[in-house]
Structure 1
């Protein structure tokens, strides 16, 4: 049996319950603090770090009597954050002291920010972290903490997309019964499987159905358009799925597109991706629709835009090297774009959708410019 001191996100009991796989009612938790230390936010990350700080006190929870299995689950979860256990003396609320282990970060790994607030973190990141932890802990015993850590950015994007989806539509009144739910695969994408029944339109329930889904986040897709010059900008890049299915032309002409990061709005993502992929600055965005890209197989939700910009230059080196992107761009007149649409030369569905929206709204955009 071991004692641990939690000073950060695992003080949030719903998250701790997910990590341990049991109710906190079964755990011996005692409020405590670590003298001469302070908890700081980590710059650019949704979790904190602890640092020595003379005269300050880091509040937390002393968790006593953890089993080997409890500790293994916690180390699996925390191990992905590159934190290591170290022993310290903590002070309990009754004034007694106790030896406990706590997770310290590599001192050169993260950049500390302002003092961290649990309440502020719960308000901004609590629900997302709970959903992310559900996915992470589903692979406990199946993947290493290091492997799961490589998927953390995608895990958080999926968690953020789930939160957005829950507020997207009014609840359905027909019944759905999930008999089993299994997270089958995790990487940049994930695959979930379930055994499910749902109510028929005519009444009664369907037979048991085995269904799977490609679990993805939300994406922003923007077609840059210059209303004064009446032209658009397209980007071209290699698409592995197109190659993997056997298509002999896997370099695709598309709008600018990218995933919406946690804490980012779709509009912010559209502006960011335009800078990264095409090296252009958008003046304004026109919403061209919001929809699931393929509701029978994928959870991906697309935010479609026309982005107003001055289009005078193209690039041969768009994208981020760190993400393996190799992107070039081209400027086409509106008539050239629609000629390619009518000749069925374009294979990207979001591009076709936005092009048809632009055809309906082009005169207005040109008049307003």
Structure 2
């Protein structure tokens, strides 16, 4: 049996219960501190780290009597954050000292930011972290922790998209609580993408419930797609890159001309993502974004929701090595006069659906944008 001291996100009861697979009521927990230590946010990350700091006290929770299963579950979850366990002396509210294990970060990977506050973190990141942990722990005992380390950023991106989806009502009076029955749901596969399987019934148009249906969904985050347009020069900018799925289906031309596109990072708005991706992929600054709509890209197979924009900018140069090397991107860009661009659309040169959608939107709104 082991004692562990939690100073960070696992002080959030919902997250602790999910990770440990037990109700908080079944845990022997008490408030405690780790002397000569302090807790800080990790730079550019929504979780904290603990550091040695003379005279400070790191507040947390001491949980006693954890067995091998709970230890294994914790190690599996924390492995995604590159932390390791170390023994420390913890002091509880009654002044007693206890030996406990503490998760410490790999300081070569994480850099400390501002002092960390639990309540602020719960407000800003609690729900996302619970969603991400739900996917992580669904694979406990099925995949190696190293696979979770590689996939965890994508899991957080999917969790952020899930939060956004919950706000996406348009006024439909039907209720999933009343008209959908879930018999089973599982996270069947994880990598850069996830795959969920579900067995359900839904209310049919005749009022009866459907038969039990087995369905799968490719679980993805939300994305932005932005077509750069220069209203002064009347030109558009496209980017080209190799697309593995197009290759996998045996298309002989897997190098695709597309708008600028990318996933929306956790904590990021679609507008922020559009501006960031334009700089990363094409090295251009956009001074205005025109919203062209949002929709699910393939609602029968994927959870991906895309936000479509035409981005106004000064299009004067192209790149031959755009994108992030850390993400395996190799991108070049091309500037086309609007008329030539639309002639290529009409000649069916392009195979990217969002590009066609934005081309038609731009054709409809071009005069207004040029009149500004």
TM range (shorter): over 0.9
Task: Choose the corresponding residue for 1:275, options 273, 279, 288.
Answer: 279
Q: Which residue of 2 aligns with 1:296?
A: 300
CA deviation string 1:107-164 (max 9, x = no partner): 3221111111011111111000000000000000011111101001100000000000
Which residues of structure 2 form unaligned runs of 5+? none
Q: Which residue of 1 aligns with 2:208?
A: 204
1:90: how far off?
0.7
Q: Which residue of 1 aligns with 2:227?
A: 223
Q: Which residue of 1 aligns with 2:160?
A: 160
1:343: how far off?
1.3
CA deviation string 1:70-117 (max 9, x = no partner): 111011101221111111111111211111111111232211111110
Residue 232 of structure 1 pairs with residue 236 of structure 2: yes
SS at match of 1:213: strand
TM-score w.r.t. the length of structure 2 is 0.97
TM-score w.r.t. the length of structure 1 is 0.98
Q: Which residue of 2 aligns with 1:94?
A: 94
- Output the aligned Cα RMSD: 0.9
Residue 332 of structure 1 pairs with residue 332 of structure 2: no
SS at match of 2:334: strand
Report the more deviating stretch, 158-167 or 326-335.
326-335
SS at match of 2:81: coil
1:185: how far off?
0.7
Task: Choose the corresponding residue for 2:182, options 163, 169, 178.
Answer: 178
Task: Give me the whole-angstrom Cα distance separating, in 2, the residues matched to 1:287 and 1:5.
Answer: 48
Q: Which residue of 2 aligns with 1:128?
A: 128
Q: Which residue of 2 aligns with 1:47?
A: 47
SS at match of 1:39: strand
Moved over 3 A (4+): none
Q: Which residue of 2 aligns with 1:145?
A: 145
Task: Choose the corresponding residue for 1:354, options 334, 358, 362.
Answer: 358
CA deviation string 1:257-308 (max 9, x = no partner): 0000001111011011111111111110000110000000000000000000
Q: Which residue of 2 aligns with 1:77?
A: 77
Task: Give me the whole-angstrom Cα distance separating, in 2, the residues matched to 1:346 and 1:63.
Answer: 58
Task: Choose the corresponding residue for 1:342, options 339, 342, 346.
Answer: 346
Task: Give me the whole-angstrom Cα distance separating, in 2, the residues matched to 1:108 and 1:82.
Answer: 10
Task: Choose the corresponding residue for 2:368, options 350, 364, 367.
Answer: 364
Report the more deviating stretch, 90-99 or 302-311.
90-99
Paired residues, number: 368
1:342: how far off?
1.2
SS at match of 1:247: coil
Task: Give me the whole-angstrom Cα distance separating, in 1, the residues matched to 2:260 and 2:254.
Answer: 17
Report the more deviating stretch, 247-256 or 162-171.
162-171
Which residues of structure 1 form unaligned runs of 5+? none
Q: Which residue of 1 aligns with 2:106?
A: 106
